[in-house]
């Protein structure tokens, strides 16, 4: 691949709701541009972008894939992102590397939550946006209803550019409102110019065309005072003024063009490629990225090949054959193969070996990537979010903001001895996916895999098996229950054994009482040497070992104070082991008498959800034994609910919230404290804990 001037590069992220046609659109663009010789289908697992075995098996996009291609002397980098909320990090990474986000909206099902999330993320990251209404050929498609819905949901920035002409429920042609020309498409997706629609074709269409042209003109007029003046004088804009106005408006975030396509029939794809050239901003036109220098000063990174190198690693791929592959957006300067760059996150020097351009899984080796381009480096140590830069200017580009894991499962190896393989495989997968965490629970000693949803963890387990050959079982994590006492008791513990030779003798009186602590508090108040001081540590050690298991369900004991008050010893038979055993005997008897109870962990919950769903969520929290503490508005139409909830009731809350809010809700849950378990749940919990053990 040749090197491209920054003005001839277009970086596009395809985003939108799951099933809205992102991958099919990418496939159609590649086919129409002559990059692929056949039009693959998602259902058949033959698309360029969905090549991962799990994607082929499930028929969905799981990873953000890069498809770079040349068209009309332009270098176009398309990042096809997943629409499922479980893989939100992939969408965030894809949008970060792009300059324009093309949001796909099905002409059949309209604006879904995934489209709103993609638009919000694009606005948050300061990217230009475009809506592509897909599946326009479907018998249930209704473009103009979708256009109205887009304007209602996203506001006046929505501007139609390519619209269909419909007669008797069928599309007869497509009108390009910039060119003011109509096109028909043959069965191979080739466009033929045809007559503009008249009133005879559709009673309302002439009105619609006038209205649509007025909408485009009004949007363009907003971009400059000169154009606004011309608009008010009633003069029609030239084609160049329309193109420049929309181009400028997109770059400033005040115009979001709408086009329509059929990926299966290739209708409108040629016009979309033309819009990519004419309307979408190049990397040097978008606002300069900000970075922090060595002194934490904020500087702007100019997108120029002549500037010092600054490149951002926006995604990591764990490939079992190639190793670690890093997707890199070059922000300034040039990134060359067989060179060195400074990783500003670690301060270490990174050896850049082979660089390649990706089109799906096909790799094309390149010697250099210039400012504005996207390239892939193999086997470097840097991680997602790191900045590679020239030693003459060490800077750090801002981190991406990923959602926090909210759904956890315990991981067990199906085959003995695979634990080390699981650990190394998970390390690779968590490098690839920042929303995936793998750690050991300090309390239950289980290995916990946490992510954004059930499917997220299932895919991680499938990747672990497919890529690293380890089969694992995912189970509901254990709850870290505790035990404590509610009253003060004084008990005796005596260990006496005679078996010829030296015997064993240890005798203690210990008072047990509740206290505020995370474990055992030990004191001694022995008078007159009833128990020699040299045996105090043995008594304490016996109790410390004993509190690891309570008398109800064998859970660790907290909030226990033990005071050694009396006892006796034998000058010959007493030993540290004997007093240690006597202490454990006293412990077991004391806890039984001291009204033992189970404690369960309570978490602090913060739920952010649309106002329409707050009533349902509060009702659900009551069912889950939660206590709602308050509500406060976060933004227009969105409220945050604060509550305290038992952790045992919250395992599937992520699934409930996603279903109830259609993916618009989010939450955080942090451990707060322990509280007494209700008596009606005691038997059930004891049985469950014993079964786990």
Residues 124 and 49 reside in one and the same domain: yes
pLDDT reported for residue 467: 86
Average pLDDT (268-278) is: 94
Average pLDDT for the chain = 90
Q: Give the phi and the psi of residue 113 in degrees, each rounded to 5.
A: -60, -40
Output the CA–CA distances (angstroms, integers) from residue 292 to 122, 287, 395, 604, in the order listed: 22, 16, 5, 34
The answer to the question of residue 310 being in a domain is: yes
Residues 382 and 300 reside in one and the same domain: yes
The answer to the question of residue 160 being in a domain is: yes
Residues 434 and 560 reside in one and the same domain: no
Residues 297 and 238 reside in one and the same domain: no
> Is 48:30 a contact under the CB 8 Å cutoff?
yes
Residues 337 and 362 reside in one and the same domain: yes
Q: pLDDT band for 52, please (50, 70, 90 cuts).
A: confident
Residues 235 and 255 reside in one and the same domain: yes
236-247 per-position pLDDT tens digit? 888 999 999 999
Residues 462 and 489 reside in one and the same domain: no
User: End of a domain among 594, 611, 642?
Assistant: 594
Q: Is the pLDDT of residue 4 over 90?
A: no
CATH of the domain at 334: 2.40.30.10
Residues 22 and 52 reside in one and the same domain: yes
Output the CA–CA distances (angstroms, integers) from residue 614 to 604, 621, 654, in the order listed: 17, 10, 15
- Domain tally, the chain: 5
500-515 per-position pLDDT tens digit? 667 888 999 999 999 9
The answer to the question of residue 115 being in a domain is: yes
Residues 414 and 299 reside in one and the same domain: no
The answer to the question of residue 347 being in a domain is: yes
> Is 512:590 a contact under the CB 8 Å cutoff?
yes
CATH of the domain at 497: 3.30.230.10
Residues 324 and 430 reside in one and the same domain: no
pLDDT reported for residue 573: 81
Cα atoms in the 13 Å half-sphere on the side-chain side of 445: 4
Q: pLDDT band for 203, please (50, 70, 90 cuts).
A: very low
Q: What contacts 24+ positions apart, CB below 8 Å, involve 182-185? A: 183/271, 185/265, 185/266, 185/267, 185/268
pLDDT reported for residue 135: 93
Report d(CA 641, CA 629) in Å as an integer. 8
User: End of a domain among 278, 312, 333?
Assistant: 278
CATH of the domain at 429: 3.30.70.870
Residues 70 and 186 reside in one and the same domain: yes
Quote the percentage of the chain above a pLDDT of 70: 98
Domain that holds residue 429: 407-475
Residues 121 and 13 reside in one and the same domain: yes
> Is 454:655 a contact under the CB 8 Å cutoff?
yes
Give whichever of 188-202, 225-239, 581-595 has the largest mean pLDDT: 581-595
Q: Give the phi and the psi of residue 531 in degrees, each rounded to 5.
A: -125, 120
User: End of a domain among 594, 609, 634?
Assistant: 594
Q: Is the pLDDT of residue 3 over 90?
A: no
pLDDT reported for residue 659: 92
The answer to the question of residue 1 being in a domain is: no
pTM of the model: 0.88
pLDDT reported for residue 572: 79
pLDDT reported for residue 644: 96
């Amino acid at each position: 691949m040749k090197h491209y001037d920054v003005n001839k590069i277009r970086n596009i992220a395809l985003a939108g709701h799951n099933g809205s046609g992102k991958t099919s659109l990418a496939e159609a663009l590649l086919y129409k541009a002559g990059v692929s010789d056949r039009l693959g289908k998602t259902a058949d697992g033959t698309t360029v972008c969905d090549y991962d075995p799990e994607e082929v098996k499930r028929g969905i996009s799981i990873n953000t894939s890069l498809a770079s291609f040349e068209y009309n002397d332009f270098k176009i980098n398309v990042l096809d992102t997943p629409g499922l909320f479980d893989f939100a990090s992939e969408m965030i990474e894809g949008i970060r590397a792009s300059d324009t986000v093309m949001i796909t909206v099905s002409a059949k099902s309209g604006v879904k939550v995934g489209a709103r999330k993609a638009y919000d993320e694009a606005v948050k990251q300061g990217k230009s946006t475009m809506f592509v209404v897909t599946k326009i050929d479907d018998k249930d498609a209704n473009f103009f209803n979708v256009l109205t819905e887009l304007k209602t949901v996203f506001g006046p920035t929505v501007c139609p550019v390519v619209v269909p002409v419909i007669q008797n429920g069928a599309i007869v042609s497509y009108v390009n409102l910039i060119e003011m020309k109509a096109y028909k498409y043959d069965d191979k997706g080739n466009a033929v110019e045809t007559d503009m629609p008249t009133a005879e074709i559709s009673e309302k269409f002439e009105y619609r065309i006038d209205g649509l042209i007025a909408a485009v003109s009004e949007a363009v007029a907003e971009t400059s005072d000169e154009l606004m003046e011309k608009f008010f004088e009633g003069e029609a804009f030239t084609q160049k003024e329309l193109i420049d106005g929309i181009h400028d408006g997109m770059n400033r975030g005040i115009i979001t063009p709408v086009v329509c396509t059929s990926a299966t029939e290739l209708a409108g794809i040629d016009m979309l490629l033309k819009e990519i050239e004419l309307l979408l901003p190049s990397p040097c036109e978008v606002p300069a990225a900000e970075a922090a220098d060595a002194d934490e000063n904020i500087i702007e990174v100019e997108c120029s090949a002549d500037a010092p190198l600054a490149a951002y690693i926006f995604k990591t791929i764990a490939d079992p054959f190639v190793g670690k592959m890093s997707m890199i957006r070059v922000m300034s300067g040039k990134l060359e193969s067989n060179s060195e760059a400074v990783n500003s996150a670690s301060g270490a020097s990174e050896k850049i070996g082979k660089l390649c351009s990706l089109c799906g899984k096909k790799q094309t080796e390149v010697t250099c990537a210039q400012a504005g381009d996207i390239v892939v480096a193999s086997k470097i140590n840097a991680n997602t979010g790191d900045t590679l830069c020239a030693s003459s200017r060490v800077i750090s580009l801002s981190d991406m903001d990923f959602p926090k894991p909210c759904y956890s499962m315990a991981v067990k190896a199906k085959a003995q001895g695979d634990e080390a393989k699981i650990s190394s495989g998970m390390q690779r997968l968590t490098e690839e996916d920042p929303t995936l965490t793998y750690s050991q629970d300090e309390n239950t000693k289980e290995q916990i895999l946490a992510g954004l949803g059930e499917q997220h963890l299932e895919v991680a387990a499938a990747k672990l098996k497919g890529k690293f050959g380890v089969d694992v079982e995912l189970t509901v994590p254990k709850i870290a229950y505790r035990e404590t006492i509610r009253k003060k008791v004084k008990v005796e513990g005596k260990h006496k054994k005679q078996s010829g030779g030296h015997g064993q003798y240890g005798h203690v009186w210990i008072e047990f009482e509740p206290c505020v602590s995370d474990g055992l508090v030990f004191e001694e108040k022995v008078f007159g040497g009833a128990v020699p001081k040299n045996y105090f540590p043995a008594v304490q050690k016996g109790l410390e070992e004993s509190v690891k298991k309570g008398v109800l369900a064998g859970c660790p004991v907290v909030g226990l104070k033990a005071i050694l008050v009396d006892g006796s010893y034998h000058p010959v038979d007493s030993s540290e082991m004997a007093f240690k055993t006597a202490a454990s005997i006293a412990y077991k008897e004391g806890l039984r008498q001291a009204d033992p109870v189970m404690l369960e962990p309570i978490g602090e919950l913060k739920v952010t959800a649309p106002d329409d769903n707050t009533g349902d969520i509060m009702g659900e929290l009551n069912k889950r034994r939660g206590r709602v503490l308050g509500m406060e508005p976060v933004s227009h139409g969105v409220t945050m609910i604060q509550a305290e909830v038992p952790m045992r009731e919250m395992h599937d809350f992520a699934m409930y919230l996603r279903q109830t809010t259609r993916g618009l809700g989010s939450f955080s849950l942090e451990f707060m404290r322990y509280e007494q378990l209700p008596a009606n749940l005691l038997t059930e919990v004891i049985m469950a804990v014993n079964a786990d053990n």
